[in-house]
Structure 1
Amino acid sequence: MKKLILSAAIVLGSLSTYAATAPIVSSTIKSVSIQEEYTEVKLEEVPEAIKAALKAAYPSAVLDKAYINANKEYKLDITVGDKKGNLFADANGKWIQK
């Protein structure tokens, strides 16, 4: 009788472990990108402080295009040799890391 009750308990215990469902883990990655809006300005309208800072930091750089945003931050498209890149500066000619 003990064996019958013990075996029934083992069988019922093993069935309940199979009936347990694993919790569903949902991982969602949300990324928000903020794009600042720049408007193109003429190269003549770029402040002299920015032009001087560009010549000091990159003497062989050629300023191709310039853009400005609402915070008076400038985005400069430059060419150094055969490489093209972007630089960011404020109106005083201080470089901004973006």
Structure 2
Amino acid sequence: MKNLAIATVLSFVGITAFANVESPELDVDNATVIVAQDFEEIEVSSLPEAVSKAVEKNYPTAKIDKAYKNEKDQYKLDLSLEDGTTGTVYADAEGNWIDM
């Protein structure tokens, strides 16, 4: 009887192993392109006036803590609000917000 139980379990395991559907692999190359944007830190004072004005207009209580720039003249801005919340926004050189 014990052998019958073991044989049943082994049969079940063998069947489920063949029935396993392969899950698609994560495309790491695309994820890396989205995450790594090659931004280099710059002085906040060196931001284009259009970017600074866009922050003043859309986030009047925000302070720009850090600024970064990439080779496409896109800017990553670390902002902090008066209530203590922080966030990151992205803009182009003309002060238009972009999604990254």
- Shorter-chain TM-score bucket reads 0.7 to 0.9
Q: Tell me the amino acid that sits aligned with residue 92 of structure 1.
A: E
| Helix, strand or coil at the partner of 2:27 | coil
Alignment of 1:27 with 2:23, yes or no, is yes
Comparing 29-38 with 82-91, greater Cα deviation is found at: 29-38
Structure 1: state its 5+ residue gaps. Answer: 1-17
Give TM-score, length-normalised by structure 1. 0.72
Q: How does 1:78-97 map to 2 (within 5 A)?
A: 78-81=79-82, 82-97=84-99
Q: Shift of the alpha carbon at 1:29? A: 2.5
- Give the % identical residues: 34
Comparing 71-80 with 26-35, greater Cα deviation is found at: 26-35
Give TM-score, length-normalised by structure 2. 0.71
Q: How many residues align?
A: 79
Alignment of 1:67 with 2:68, yes or no, is yes
| Helix, strand or coil at the partner of 1:74 | strand
Structure 2 Cα separation of the partners of residues 78 and 24 of structure 1? 47
CA RMSD in angstroms comes to 1.7
Q: Shift of the alpha carbon at 1:24? A: 4.8
| Helix, strand or coil at the partner of 2:45 | helix
Bigger Rg, which one: 1
